[in-house]
Amino acid sequence: MRICWAQYTLWAVIALLGVMSLLAGCGAKGDLFIPPEETEQTESR
């Protein structure tokens, strides 16, 4: 059974997209936790 070049290309594209999507998350910035909700304090005068 022979595998055609198009199938190799398909698997190469799938692997490339998978690696690129994994690497895209490496530069994500921001909080690594859910910050606590801030309670609004009103001043009564």
Per residue of the chain (45 residues), what is the pLDDT tens digit?
677 999 999 999 999 999 998 888 776 666 667 767 877 766 666
Q: Check residue 8 and give its pLDDT.
A: 93
Q: How far apart are CA 13 and CA 4, in angstroms?
A: 15
Q: What is the pLDDT of residue 34?
A: 75
What is the separation of C-alpha 27 from the centre of its chain, rounded to a whole number of angstroms? 9
Q: Position of tokens 């690497």?
A: 23
Q: Which of 10, 8, 28 is nearest to 18 (CA)?
A: 10
Which has the closest alpha carbon to 10: 25, 24, 18?
Answer: 18
